[in-house]
Structure 1
Amino acid sequence: MNTLQQSTPARLHHLQIVTGQPETMVDFYQRMLDLRIVEVHADSTVLAGPARAMVIGRSDGGIEPHYGYAVADASALEALKRQLSGRDLPYRTIEDPMFAPGAIVITDPQGRRLAFGVAAQACDYAGPPARLQHTVFQTTDLDNIVRFYVEKVGFAISDEVVDADGVVMVVFMRSDDEHHTLAFFRGSNNEWDHHCYETSEWNDIRDWGDRFAAAEVPIFFGPGRHGPGNNLFFMVTDPDGNRLEFSAELGRVAADTLPGVWPQSERTLNSWGRAWIRS
């Protein structure tokens, strides 16, 4: 089966989230990530910045969260639609302010929504490097969710984390050449775990850390280095408690590479020391 990486590479382009405090969230992402307001609607605000973008909606406004993956062009999007139809995966068209007309959305068995489309405009804004790169979830049904994203959508598994009993606890999946653009942790809840911004180098990690420190936003995990993906990282939270990761040196994976297997341990999640273990 052709994977997204092989046939229609897709990168995480933007997030659409909902919140009960939209003004506070818009202010945070403007100040801390250099996002600019490009559109204001009755129930949402559209923000864009250098290689990162977000739609922040009111939780009482009727919009639903989704995670927008961009493909190269209209022909790639049409090819993806044919592949999804061939795998009996229903999709519907969606109006997304960050995508050109024709974008689609799929829904996984637990209700998460991924949109695919062609970027409506280049994110050529100035600002420190931090490209929106991946998003991660916790799930109570890891095996079936992974099967859905691999067999129906076309993601490829880069690495798995396995506990002492041989149970898979974490799966990292890719939709292009980067180690992961999507991942799932086995957990007791079905929730958004974090989203990540890939920087250029270690000095960028330092500079982003200094920025959050100056704003009195504390790091809650890291700095460190992940085993799977080999990337440097740290994590902070936004006013809603959503977790943001800043990363550097994320590995790249060839299309024919077999999935790696890692033991579930603190050193797998942070080879430098203590780790945040989901439960």
Structure 2
Amino acid sequence: MSSRWIEALRSVALNVPDLAKAEDFYTTVWQLDVVHRKENAVYLRGSGTDHHLLALYAGGEAPQIRQVTLRARSAEALQAIAEAVPRAGGTVLSPIASLSRNPAGGSGLTFRDPHGRIFQVVYGDARHHQVDPPPDRPQRLTHVVLNSHAVDETQKFLSDALDFKLADRTVAIAFMNCNRDHHTLAIGVSDNDALNHIAFLMPNLDSVMRGGGRMKDAGFPIQWGPGRHGPGNNLFNYFIDPFGVVIEYTADVEQIDEAYQSRGPAEWKWPLGRVDQWGISPPPAAILKDAQRRVLFVPT
């Protein structure tokens, strides 16, 4: 089911009201490492090979999402995307060029989809050697969920512009696939186009749970979880960061291939009172649902 053009999700860039506070949280509590800093920005890596997973920028009274960065499979794929975006209804903001001002380097383009979401696609960006992770340290990003007031239109754009495939569709979410991970981008049914959440891959169940304990000790309780999702089969604990961004520790993401059979809303139904496979987690609270609607893309 993989995309011909997109290899993986690389990183997410956010504007935050207090850069020093954000750096302290994402290094000491969330367990990322600073890999680069410049005036009014800091770049944070996990234990995997991606140069950085989060780029945090100082700015504004409320958090905003600047862009979602994906990695192309080749220079030819990058060119194919540049040609496909306008045909699909998107707008190229920055054509393919060297990203010399970005610490990860490489080349890439930036574009806006028809509803204002901003994506960057890169190729040839710097990688790190794999680090043996501590027990509860994030390795990489596994997915980003973006709200949409027009899910079918957003799904079609991701298919036409980036060659994403629909892995599964529930009443609430369309799960879009580009590689072996069950989903890399997902589209949440909503009345707005905000960032729903960012998911960080942990090594295993124990690390998801230890991370939850560390977050609780630091004053950031689990807002939803622990549990095991239906589509994707992944473990989850959801949290709200100091600024209102919803973040997830996850592990054990289902790996799929061309033989995977997609299912629709009629097949993805929980028994009454259950919101995950285990049946021990209560539904997400109102505070989490509210946070999943508040972080909007930077207007262009």
| Structure 1: distance between partners of 2:249 and 2:8 | 17
Q: Within 5 Å, which residues of 2 pair with 1:58-137?
A: 58-60=58-60, 65-72=66-73, 76-86=74-84, 88=87, 91=92, 92-93=95-96, 95=99, 97-118=102-123, 119-122=125-128, 124-125=130-131, 127-128=133-134, 129-130=137-138, 131-137=140-146
Give the CA deviation at 1:123. 5.9
SS in 1 for 2:53: strand
CA contact (8 A) 1:266 1:275 kept: no
> Shift in Å at residue 173 of structure 1?
0.5
Distance of aligned partners of 1:64 and 1:262 in 2 relative to their CA distance in 1, 3 Å threshold: closer
Provide closer, same or farther for how the CA distance between residues 275 and 82 of structure 1 changes in structure 2, counting only shifts above 3 A.
Answer: same
C-alpha change, 1:259 and 1:84, in structure 2 (3 Å) is farther
- Give TM-score, length-normalised by structure 1: 0.84
Structure 1 position 84, deviation (Å): 4.2
Paired residues of 1:142 and 1:186 also in contact (CA < 8 A): yes
Q: 1:236 aligns with which of 218, 221, 239?
A: 239
Match of 1:31 in 2: 28
Q: Which runs of 5+ in 2 are unaligned?
A: 291-300
- Residue type of the alignment partner of 1:85: E
In 2, distance between residues paired with 1:234 and 1:266? 19
**CA-CA distance at 1:116 after TM superposition:** 1.5
Q: 2:148 aligns with which of 127, 134, 139?
A: 139
Cα distance in 2, alignment partners of residues 34 and 114 from structure 1 = 25
**What value does the CA root-mean-square deviation take over the aligned residues?**
2.7
Which residue of structure 2 lines up, in the alignment, with residue 224 of structure 1? 227
Cross-structure match for 2:256: 253
Distance 1:97 1:35, change over 3 A: farther
Contact 1:49 1:124 in 2 (8 A): no
Are 2:204 and 1:201 aligned?
yes
User: Where does residue 188 of structure 1 map in the other structure?
Assistant: 191
Alpha-carbon shift at residue 227 of structure 1 (Å): 0.6
Q: 2:155 matched to 1:179?
A: no
Aligned to 1:120, what secondary structure does the other structure show? coil
- Decide whether aligned partners of structure 1 residues 24 and 125 sit closer, same or farther in structure 2, where only a CA change above 3 A counts: farther
1:42 and 2:39 aligned = yes
- Contact conserved, 2:69 with 2:122, CA < 8 A, in 1? yes
Q: Is the 8 A contact 1:99 1:117 kept in 2?
A: no
Measure, in 1, the Cα distance between the counterparts of 2:150 and 2:65. 22
Question: 1:138 is aligned with what amino acid?
Answer: N
Asked if the contact 2:19–2:40 (Cα under 8 Å) also holds between the matched residues in 1, the reply is: no
Aligned CA distance change for structure 1 residues 205 and 36 (closer, same or farther; 3 Å): closer
Cα distance in 2 for partners of 1:86, 1:67 equals 18
Aligned to 1:165: none
Distance 2:164 2:183 in 1: 9
Determine the structure 1 residue equivalent to 2:277: 271
Q: CA deviation at 1:124?
A: 4.1
TM normalised by structure 2 equals: 0.79
Structure 1 residue 242 displacement after superposition: 0.7
Aligned residues: 266
Task: Note closer, same or farther for the CA distance 1:47–1:248 as it changes in structure 2 (3 Å cut).
Answer: closer
